[in-house]
């Protein structure tokens, strides 16, 4: 039988191609599996280390030392872990499990101040060794986690076998499919498809060779190419330099003619009366820091409470003012609240009830019926404002934070076609905790009026799904992350918030050395002092008191830092009408004076407090002057201060000490992660930060800066807007199909 027959020729070529692919891909599959397996081992080792780090450190720091051998033996009951050991800094293998190979010694391993991994031979087998540094007060060393790599070879053999079967199957299937297409399609259609793909690659438009959009293949091809362009441009945020321009282009292409409204309690610009006239203030708020750059990029209207003493003097007859003042790009609509409304809605339910409830900060939440009544009335007021400002019946409304839990449902009733994206900027606690709130069902129902409900982390999303499942007669789709209530589906998504990149406050900053000298002069710091800083509002969730106790512990255990170390706390007064906040400020001042009296002198104070509002440019100058930035939140949704410090350090120096209870710790893993409730551990981490070599600082900071640059606030907004665009398109398709 001759191979001149096209069918036989294609079959022979297919068999040959399959054979070549098998020979080429089988070793590659083995190598990939081996690489995956090693990464899996390293990940497992890190998880083991992180889960036992505190117990090991406590055992090492105990007097006398605790015998960690039995503890290590229990851990090796895991079938994958071969052995555990601990090497002291002097190279002594102090603890080791029974199965620990004698050929592996502390002297044979390369140890450093960062996690390292090695593969060493042991007879006829290979051992993977994970080496983790541990500092426990005066004792330090390295924890060794050993895995036998025998199972990797078994996986590689299986991979070769299944790769061969898969490639053969795929090649056969593709061969049959290709043959069917060759026999079915005409040359003209092939030329048409090729021309259309070429036009898409070059960014060209419709040509004579492009199939008509009225034909079935034409509609399919046009739609597919459009989706590919969108995915290539936006979906892979890692390869897109997100900026106001990129975000604006996304809106034009994905949400053409869309109207964007933002609703928040805090306004981005506040006008106050002073002796010199009217002054403009930018509030110290993570919410404003995140959203204001987005509104500059998208335009639209921002609806907020007008709280400034001169706010009424600066609006037009519709209570609106164009902002930013120097270069207006969007409108600010102010809503006026009476003192009674402010006391009940803001100070009462929002900040004496929901704030401590969601932060689990061990401050008892207070719930009053009158506060709840005012909260509902104010949410109604803002819903009316949204309807008044909306120029169409399907706006995109970005509802911000815990002040407006009822607003999404109210907007949904008034504007059924609106796309409501609600972002909850604080943590969402578990169902047991949220059950404390007397109006939990009403709050959850209000939030489920949203099209999309966003939280900082997947953990908070899961907590909300759990609460909805427990308290509402709803359908929970955990696979897709959605809640359906009364026929309306709400998507529940994690959108880690971030900051603008590059930060505007960084634009005209002098070099780091000049910033350091300026900060030292302004606050009267010693010339040779190493500077640690904290920047936040006076809020009991931020762990300010715990931070001062850690400074005290540092100077007690390491007196060599006296006179050479200063902690500068820049704190803005906030919610001073509430007793918990004013008491915190008073206690901070008292504790700072106590620590200064114990460790300071006539010309040296280890703790310097700056209690006032700090403008963004001043905050960034402080960040650039610092050797360490300490973020010790007791509980935080994200905490943008951590990301702002990273963004400020274009010299790739400085150390971020970050609470593990802040959402930012999920992203900024190169920071020194601390437990703010553990005073001794946090003091030890400050000492480690002060002693960290410049090269290690540079490597850690470079990785964190890359992450903040890539995952900036424009990407945060784009993720929500892209999801909104997809849902709007899907709704349009379903509406068209129904007709």
Write the pLDDT tens digit of every residue in 449-503: 999 999 999 999 999 999 999 999 999 999 999 999 999 999 999 999 999 898 9
CATH architecture designation of domain 260-341+375-478: 3-Layer(aba) Sandwich (3.40)
pLDDT in tens, 569-605: 999 887 767 778 888 899 999 999 999 999 999 899 9
Q: What is the pLDDT of residue 363?
A: 85
Distance, in Å, from the CA atom of 435 to the CA atom of 446, rounded to the nearest integer, reads: 16
Confidence check: pLDDT of 349 > 70: yes
Whole-number mean pLDDT of the chain? 85
Contact 559, 515 (CB under 8 A): no
Contact 348, 368 (CB under 8 A): yes
Distance, in Å, from the CA atom of 32 to the CA atom of 37, rounded to the nearest integer, reads: 8
Tokens of 454: 């966003």
The residue-averaged pLDDT of 49-61 equals 82
> Taking Cα atoms as reference points, which of 713, 642, 705 lies closest to residue 290?
713
Distance, in Å, from the CA atom of 448 to the CA atom of 406, rounded to the nearest integer, reads: 9
The residue-averaged pLDDT of 104-113 equals 82
Q: What is the pLDDT of residue 228?
A: 43
Tokens of 6: 């096209």
Contact 427, 358 (CB under 8 A): yes
Number of neighbours of residue 210 by Cβ within 10 angstroms: 19
Confidence check: pLDDT of 253 > 60: yes
Tokens of 238: 């890692």
Distance, in Å, from the CA atom of 673 to the CA atom of 680, rounded to the nearest integer, reads: 14
Helices (H) and strands (E) in the chain, counts: 22, 23
> Could you state, in order of their start, the residue ranges of all structural domains in the chain?
18-154, 260-341+375-478, 504-711
| Dihedral of the alpha carbons of 439, 444, 449, 453, in degrees to the nearest 10 | 140
Tokens of 592: 């700072």
**Domain 18-154 shares a fold with domain 504-711:** no
Q: Does residue 309 sit in helix, strand or coil? A: coil
pLDDT in tens, 188-215: 555 555 555 445 444 444 444 444 444 4
The residue-averaged pLDDT of 292-310 equals 87
- pLDDT band with cut points at 50, 70 and 90 for residue 35: confident
CATH architecture designation of domain 18-154: 2-Layer Sandwich (3.30)
Residue 278 gets which letter from DSSP?
E
Q: What is the pLDDT of residue 15?
A: 67
Q: Which CATH number fits domain 504-711: 3.20.20.100, 3.30.360.10, 3.40.50.2000, 3.40.50.620?
A: 3.40.50.2000
Q: What is the pLDDT of residue 330?
A: 93
Q: What is the pLDDT of residue 236?
A: 47
Tokens of 302: 């921002």
Its pTM stands at 0.67
Contacts of 506 (CB under 8 A, 6+ apart): 620, 647, 648, 650
Distances (CA, A) of 303 to 363, 421, 520: 31, 15, 40
- pLDDT band with cut points at 50, 70 and 90 for residue 262: very high
Contacts of 320 (CB under 8 A, 6+ apart): 301, 331, 332, 333, 334
Name residue 568's beta-bridge partners.
533, 608
The residue-averaged pLDDT of 158-173 equals 74
Distance, in Å, from the CA atom of 118 to the CA atom of 127, rounded to the nearest integer, reads: 8
> Taking Cα atoms as reference points, which of 635, 497, 509, 628 lies closest to residue 568?
628
> Taking Cα atoms as reference points, which of 162, 168, 163, 216 lies closest to residue 189?
216
């Amino acid at each position: 039988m001759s191979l001149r027959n096209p069918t036989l020729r294609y079959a022979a070529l297919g068999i040959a191609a399959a054979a070549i692919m098998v020979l080429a891909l089988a070793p590659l599959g083995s190598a990939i599996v081996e690489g995956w397996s090693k990464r899996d081992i390293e990940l497992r080792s890190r998880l083991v280390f992180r889960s036992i780090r505190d117990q090991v450190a406590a055992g090492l720091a105990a007097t006398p030392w605790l015998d960690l051998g039995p503890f290590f033996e229990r851990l090796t009951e895991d079938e994958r872990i071969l052995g555990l050991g601990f090497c002291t800094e002097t190279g002594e293998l102090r603890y080791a499990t029974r199965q620990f190979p004698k050929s592996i010694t502390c002297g044979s391993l390369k140890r450093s101040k960062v996690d390292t991994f090695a593969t060493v031979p042991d007879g006829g087998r290979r051992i993977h060794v994970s080496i983790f540094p541990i500092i426990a007060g005066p004792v330090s060393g390295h924890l060794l986690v050993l895995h036998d790599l025998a199972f990797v070879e078994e996986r590689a053999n299986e991979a070769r076998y299944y790769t061969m079967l898969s490639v053969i199957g795929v090649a056969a299937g593709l061969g049959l499919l290709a043959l069917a297409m060759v026999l079915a399609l005409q040359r003209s259609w092939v030329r048409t498809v090729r021309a259309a793909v070429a036009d898409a690659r070059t960014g060209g438009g419709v040509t004579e060779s492009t199939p008509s959009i009225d034909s079935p293949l034409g509609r399919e091809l046009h739609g597919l190419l459009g989706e590919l362009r969108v995915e290539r441009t936006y979906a892979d945020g890692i390869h897109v330099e997100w900026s106001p321009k990129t975000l604006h282009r996304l809106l034009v292409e994905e949400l053409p003619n869309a109207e964007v409204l933002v609703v928040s309690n805090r306004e981005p610009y506040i006008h106050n009366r002073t002796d010199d006239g009217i002054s403009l203030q930018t509030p110290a708020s993570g919410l404003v820091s995140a959203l204001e750059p987005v509104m500059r990029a998208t335009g639209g209207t921002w609806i907020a409470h007008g709280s400034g003493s001169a706010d009424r003097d600066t609006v037009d007859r519709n209570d609106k003012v164009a902002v930013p003042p120097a270069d207006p790009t969007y409108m600010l609509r102010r809503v006026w609240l009476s003192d009674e409304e402010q006391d009940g809605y803001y100070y009462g339910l929002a900040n004496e009830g929901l704030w401590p409830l969601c932060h689990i900060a061990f401050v008892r939440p207070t719930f009053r019926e009158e506060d709840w009544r005012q909260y509902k009335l104010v949410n109604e007021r803002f819903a009316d404002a949204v309807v008044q400002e909306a120029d169409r019946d399907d706006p995109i409304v970005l509802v911000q934070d815990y002040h407006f839990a009822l607003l999404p449902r109210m907007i949904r009733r008034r504007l059924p076609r609106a796309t409501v994206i609600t972002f909850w900027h604080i943590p969402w606690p578990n169902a047991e905790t949220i059950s404390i709130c007397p109006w939990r069902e009403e709050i959850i129902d209000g939030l489920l009026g949203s099209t999309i409900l966003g939280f900082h982390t997947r953990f908070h999303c899961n907590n909300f799904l759990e609460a909805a499942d427990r308290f509402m007669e709803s359908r929970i789709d955990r696979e897709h992350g959605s809640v359906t209530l009364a026929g309306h589906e709400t998507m529940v998504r994690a959108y880690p918030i971030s900051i603008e990149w590059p930060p505007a406050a960084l634009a005209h900053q002098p070099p780091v050395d000049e910033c350091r000298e300026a900060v030292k002069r302004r606050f009267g710091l010693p010339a040779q002092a190493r500077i640690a800083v904290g920047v936040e509002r006076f809020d009991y969730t931020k762990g300010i008191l715990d931070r001062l106790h850690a400074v005290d512990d540092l100077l007690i255990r390491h007196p060599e830092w006296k006179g050479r170390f200063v902690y500068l706390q820049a704190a803005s007064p906030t919610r001073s009408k509430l007793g918990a906040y004013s008491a915190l400020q008073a206690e901070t001042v008292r504790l700072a004076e106590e620590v200064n009296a114990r460790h300071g002198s006539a010309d040296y104070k280890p703790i310097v407090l700056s209690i006032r509002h700090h403008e963004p440019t001043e905050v960034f100058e402080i960040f650039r002057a610092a050797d360490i930035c300490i973020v010790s939140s007791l509980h935080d949704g994200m905490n943008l201060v951590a990301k702002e410090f990273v963004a400020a350090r274009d010299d790739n120096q400085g150390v971020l000490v970050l609470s593990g209870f802040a959402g930012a710790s999920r992203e900024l893993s190169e920071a020194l992660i601390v437990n703010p409730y553990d005073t001794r551990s946090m003091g030890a981490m400050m000492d480690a930060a002060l002693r960290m070599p410049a090269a290690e600082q540079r490597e850690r900071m470079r990785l964190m800066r890359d992450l903040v640059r890539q995952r900036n606030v424009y990407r945060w907004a784009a993720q929500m807007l892209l999801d909104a665009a997809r849902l709007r398109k899907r709704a349009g398709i379903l509406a068209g199909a129904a007709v």
